[in-house]
Amino acid sequence: MYFHLIGFFVTSAPADRADSLISDLVLTANETLLAKGAPAGKGAKILDWKIVDSKIRVEIESDRYVRAHDAFIRLKKPLAEILGKKYHIGIRGVEIESFVVKFPSENPVKAATIPHVSKIEFESGETSVWMDIGESEIQKRIPDRIITLIEDKITAEEYGGKEEHWSLLWASEEKTILYREDPTTELVKRNWIKHGAARGQWIYGPEATSVFRAFERIVVAEVLDFLGYQEMIFPKLVSWDVWKRSGHAKGVYPEIYYVCPPKTRDPEFWEEVADYYKVTHEIPLDLIREKIDDPIGGLCYAQCPPFWPFLQGKTISDETFPVRVFDRSGTSHRYESGGIHGIERVDEFHRIEIVWMGTPEQVVEESERIQERYRYIFEEILELTWRKAWVTPWFMAQEGLTGTSGSEKVGTIDYESLIPYRDGWLEFQNISVNGDKYPTGFNVKSQSGSELWSGCSGVGLERWASTFFAQKGLDRDGWPSAFREIICELPEGFVFL
């Protein structure tokens, strides 16, 4: 990586008299100040400087160790000291004429407008990025965030366009397959489910609901009660502050349902909307847009982030660890665009979210315990054909990143089931060790000061049902005996004439 910056220090008077002092400072800084913290032979270097009226023009190049914009700011204080001490000349501010960063890359970077970036060019295996920045942006670390963003985009391009890293960990034996049709079609035909009024939404009749509740009882008995989890209720409206701290603010925008409050609850303010509907029986969307405020966040997208404000800024006694909690209090919402299919890929879904926190060793051990419980359920109760794979950590995928976390312990395991009617596999369960991402993001500390990690696992009832029905069908008599004992008799649903 290569950095090149041309900037000016704006002085309170021409600094011609300080010419020799500035020259000495430049020579010294190139060997000390601008190399501090970098390996031998690395760092930043002042290529040229000159006095132009009441400005001092400086040209700096660097590698990634002491970046040129940081070197420029490092130079400001010692320069002000030598100018002020002898000549009573102050530095009134800084200006940056040109700042470009060059990255090695195999392909052009696909990027829409990036704040403070004026131009991006690709040539001969190199991407060049021109930035419009000032001292304020440097102090706020804006250039470094842009660099990280471009590096992420380059990594994604060089990864070959794959959405996820995937590595098989284990696969079950193939169980008896009793059904080879799309179960959603049969569910609709039998009146077990019906499309809801909104997109990607289903209404579940008594029969389907009883299957969902049976899944819940299995998870509660065989995982949550077995391992000592406590139930909580997490919010389902998530604010921007939560998503900033959780990392979702980096890339969640195409997939969330936004929540906009009214500008006021005053009935008079809304009277024309109500009157319009009363006369036309049409909803005046344009009028409503004028009367709602900016989005305050969105509906629950990933179920665990809104839990963390409960612990935010707190120090927790060591005897509390590992923390074990779960939530099953409401729906999650994700805009799936053209990917909607049956009950397996929907915009509104039902999930049990399992969250744990403790020392790194406790969190990894807890993940392994939960994995054993899932294996027992899928093998002994549901008798599924399934496999599990190490994949791009879910939190990276939701931030638009690819590959692995870089740690052997931190990451996500996806559970996939065979879907016979399409000769493919469906991700129906996952479990993640998230490292220190959430305790750090929400400033959670332990009494002893030990490092804290967390993990989470989402049990999606629609995905479990899709998996089970796709392999076992809808006829209760063909279901595994262990599951039949749990669900007992199916209720009698609606008969439509």
Which residues in 221-230 are b (16+ Cβ under 10 Å) and which e? ebbbeebebe
Q: Can you point out the beta strands (E) in 272-347?
A: 297-299, 315-316, 323-327, 331-333
Residue 448 contacts by C-beta under 8 Å, 6 or more apart in sequence? Answer: 318
Type and span of the H or E element at 421: none
Rg (CA), the chain: 29
Helix (H, G, I), strand (E, B) or coil at 317: coil
Q: Which candidate, 229, 249, 224, places its Cα nearest to that of 238?
A: 249
Question: Quick check: 452 and 446 in contact, CB under 8 A?
Answer: yes
Query: DSSP letter at 403?
Result: S
Helix (H, G, I), strand (E, B) or coil at 184: helix
Q: Which residues are catalytic?
A: 304, 334, 336, 345, 353, 414, 427, 430, 456, 463
Type and span of the H or E element at 72: helix 68-87
Query: DSSP letter at 492?
Result: P
Question: Quick check: 237 and 300 in contact, CB under 8 A?
Answer: yes
Question: Quick check: 424 and 388 in contact, CB under 8 A?
Answer: no
Q: Which amino acid is at 128?
A: S
Question: Quick check: 95 and 137 in contact, CB under 8 A?
Answer: no
Helix (H, G, I), strand (E, B) or coil at 116: coil
Tokens of 282: 């049409």
Residue 351 contacts by C-beta under 8 Å, 6 or more apart in sequence? Answer: 303, 328, 332, 458, 459, 460, 461
Question: Quick check: 397 and 417 in contact, CB under 8 A?
Answer: no
